[in-house]
Amino acid sequence: MKRLFAIGLTILLLHSCKVGKNYKGTEFNQPTSFAQVNPDDTVVYDSIRTDTIVLDTAAIEWWTMYDDPILNDLINEAFLNNRDAMIASENVLQARFALNIQNADLLPQVTLNGEVTRGNFVMNQVGQTNNLVFGSGSVYWEIDLWGRIRRLSEAARADLMATEYGYRGVMISLVSEVASTYFALLQAKSQYEIAQRNARSRDSMVQIIKARYDKGIVPIIDVDQSTIQYTIAAGAVPQYERQIVQLQNALSILLGRNPGPVETGTPLEEQNYNLDIPVQTPVELLARRPDVVAAEYQVIGQNARVGSAKANRLPTISLNAFGGVAANDFKSLSFSNPLWSLGGQIMAPLIYWGRLKRQVDIEDSRQMQALYKYQNTVFGAIAEVEDILVDIRTTKVEIEIANERKRSALQAQYLSMERYNKGVTSYLEFLEQQRQAFDAELLLENLRASLLTSYVQLYKAVGGGWLTPEERDAARQTE
């Protein structure tokens, strides 16, 4: 008994061994802050290992900072009904099932077999036909001596985590797309109203100039020029109307609806353009951004596959058992004289002409590919945040300038019209001032929409919003 216990203990100890290296994180030489947060400061770099970083999965309803109830409702509706989100959710389920299947290989495989046969069997007399009723069960268990199966389970678990973070990435992208399309729709509606107002103003001017022409005050060329300007302004109205319909249809698809009208809330000019963005650090991208975290899990999974490939070069040990009964009919079946067998098997690769070694080399190469992709994802994530931060900073400056330009252009248009009515200046001067006023209004709306879109892009780029230091500490305490 002691001998059997010792043998079993030895097998269990050996069973705990795993071929291959355990993943110990990836080292990065990263900036300690984003350059665009403090453009005048010198960027300092520091070495960071990813295995020391605590993943941050705090849920942030960042879009509520706009205080637009309609936008909040649309995003919540997209969460429930968007088909891409549903597809991503199914991907997570499939990855979980794949992990369950892989884990099952660690357990004994049990098979039952039943058979009823009629024929002239060898053990019977020649020419005599009999029945044979046979029932059996078998057990097969591969002793995972070198950790081949456990490494594959590690890989499947890493695949599951990568898929789950991929799902999180889809949801973050969904919020970004809904918000960006919503703001583009607000922009199109605002520009549509500006175009309508401009067309009405120019139509009124046409009527005034026609009346003055009838009185012989102005030449016919003024009538023609004013009519041309009206048709140009009127032609812009259906362009923005078309944009509104197309954006509504695009937003409907994101919401999981049939294409159709979509309600909007706070107008573009009343949106919040001065969101308070806490200082972020590049390290937080490693902890929050789904594509970065998913890329590291792909490295982890491939590291495990290297270990499994190495274990394939070592002997495989398995245990098997068989038991059954046989008789000429069901009534005669009995366990008093069963069929049985117990045994073990060891299979070692001998001559494979380097095939197993080359498979290890392939998995090693794939691991390096996964590592390079991970590093590239991190570099790209930092660059993306830097680009968006400079977009936000410079667009705010442009909006200030555009506001002044609009104010001056509208004032110049008014004064030019007064000068024209008094015969001090030509109609061409008034047309130029009118064009500049219209362009200034459109430019301001474009910049406003661009700033809102940049905020949305920043939400996506930093991995789903941002927390203040106090909020971040509170979120980690509740995890």
pLDDT on residue 121 = 62
Q: How confident is the model at residue 226 (pLDDT cuts 50, 70, 90)?
A: confident
Q: How confident is the model at residue 13 (pLDDT cuts 50, 70, 90)?
A: very low
Instruction: Decide if pLDDT at 43 tops 80.
Output: no
- The residue with tokens 């590919």 is 369
pLDDT on residue 114 = 85
Amino acid at 71: L
Q: How confident is the model at residue 128 (pLDDT cuts 50, 70, 90)?
A: confident
Instruction: Decide if pLDDT at 10 tops 80.
Output: no
Please state whether beta strands 316-327 and 130-143 pair in parallel, antiparallel, or not at all (unpaired): antiparallel
Q: How confident is the model at residue 59 (pLDDT cuts 50, 70, 90)?
A: low
Q: Say if residue 153 is in the same domain as residue 137.
A: no
Instruction: Decide if pLDDT at 403 tops 90.
Output: yes
pLDDT on residue 5 = 46
Q: Say if residue 336 is in the same domain as residue 284.
A: no
Q: Say if residue 273 is in the same domain as residue 309.
A: yes
Q: Across residues 44-70, what is the average pLDDT?
A: 75
Choice between 7 and 251, residue whose per-residue pLDDT is larger: 251
Q: Across residues 461-479, what is the average pLDDT?
A: 60
Where does residue 241 rank: exposed (0-12), middle (13-18), buried (19+ CB within 10 A)? middle
Please state whether beta strands 109-119 and 45-49 pair in parallel, antiparallel, or not at all (unpaired): unpaired
Choice between 171 and 132, residue whose per-residue pLDDT is larger: 171
Q: Across residues 300-325, what is the average pLDDT?
A: 93
Q: How many CB atoms lie within 10 A of CB 268?
A: 22
Instruction: Decide if pLDDT at 110 tops 70.
Output: yes
What's the start-to-end Cα distance of the chain, in Å?
Answer: 48
Indicate the DSSP class of residue 216. T
Q: Is residue 99 situated within a structural domain?
A: yes
Of 328, 348, 368, which marks where a domain is finished?
348
Q: Is residue 68 situated within a structural domain?
A: yes
Q: Say if residue 416 is in the same domain as residue 326.
A: no
Q: What CATH number is attached to the domain comprising 172?
A: 1.20.1600.10
Structural domain count, the chain: 2
Q: Is residue 363 situated within a structural domain?
A: yes
Q: Is residue 263 situated within a structural domain?
A: yes
Q: Say if residue 310 is in the same domain as residue 163.
A: yes
Q: Is residue 160 situated within a structural domain?
A: yes
Indicate the DSSP class of residue 54. P
Instruction: Decide if pLDDT at 202 tops 50.
Output: yes
pLDDT on residue 479 = 46
pLDDT on residue 9 = 45
Alpha-carbon span 432 to 169, nearest angstrom: 49
Of 300, 329, 348, which marks where a domain is finished?
348
Alpha-carbon span 367 to 388, nearest angstrom: 32
Instruction: Decide if pLDDT at 353 tops 80.
Output: yes
Alpha-carbon span 148 to 313, nearest angstrom: 10
Instruction: List the domain range (segments joined by +) for residue 125.
Output: 108-143+315-348
Instruction: Decide if pLDDT at 299 tops 50.
Output: yes
Give percent above pLDDT 90 in the chain.
54
Query: Among candidates 235, 226, 231, 229, which has minimal Cα distance to 208?
Result: 226
Q: Say if residue 285 is in the same domain as residue 365.
A: yes
State the number of CA atoms in the 13 A half-sphere of 461 facing the CB. Answer: 22
Alpha-carbon span 204 to 217, nearest angstrom: 17
- The residue with tokens 């043998």 is 7
Alpha-carbon span 186 to 247, nearest angstrom: 10
Amino acid at 391: D
Amino acid at 438: F
State if pTM tops 0.85. no
Choice between 104 and 130, residue whose per-residue pLDDT is larger: 104
Please list, in sequence order, all residues whose beta carbon lies within 8 angstroms of the beta carbon of residue 31, skipping any fewer than 6 positions away: 43, 44, 45, 46, 282, 382
pLDDT on residue 404 = 95
> Which of 115-129, 385-399, 443-457 bottoms out in mean pLDDT, i.e. has the lowest?
115-129
Q: What CATH number is attached to the domain comprising 134?
A: 2.20.200.10
Q: Say if residue 396 is in the same domain as residue 453.
A: yes
Q: Say if residue 87 is in the same domain as residue 137.
A: no
Q: Say if residue 85 is in the same domain as residue 42.
A: yes
Q: Is residue 214 situated within a structural domain?
A: no
Phi, psi (deg, nearest 5) at residue 196: -65, -45
- What distances in angstroms separate CA 189 from CA 248, 302, 454, 459, one per listed residue? 11, 50, 19, 24
Q: Is residue 445 situated within a structural domain?
A: yes
> Which of 162-166, 383-387, 431-435 bottoms out in mean pLDDT, i.e. has the lowest?
431-435
Please state whether beta strands 130-143 and 109-119 pair in parallel, antiparallel, or not at all (unpaired): antiparallel
Instruction: Decide if pLDDT at 6 tops 80.
Output: no
Q: Say if residue 448 is in the same domain as residue 321.
A: no
> Which of 191-205, 302-316, 324-338 bottoms out in mean pLDDT, i.e. has the lowest?
324-338
Mean pLDDT (the chain) is: 86
Q: Say if residue 343 is in the same domain as residue 281.
A: no
Q: Is residue 211 situated within a structural domain?
A: no
pLDDT on residue 229 = 87
Q: Say if residue 402 is in the same domain as residue 422.
A: yes
Instruction: Decide if pLDDT at 7 tops 60.
Output: no
Of 303, 330, 348, which marks where a domain is finished?
348
- The residue with tokens 């942030």 is 60
Classify each residue of 95-126 as buried b or exposed e, where b means 16 or more C-beta atoms within 10 Å of its C-beta: bbebbeebeeeeeeeeeeeeeeeeeeeeeeee
Instruction: Decide if pLDDT at 156 tops 70.
Output: yes
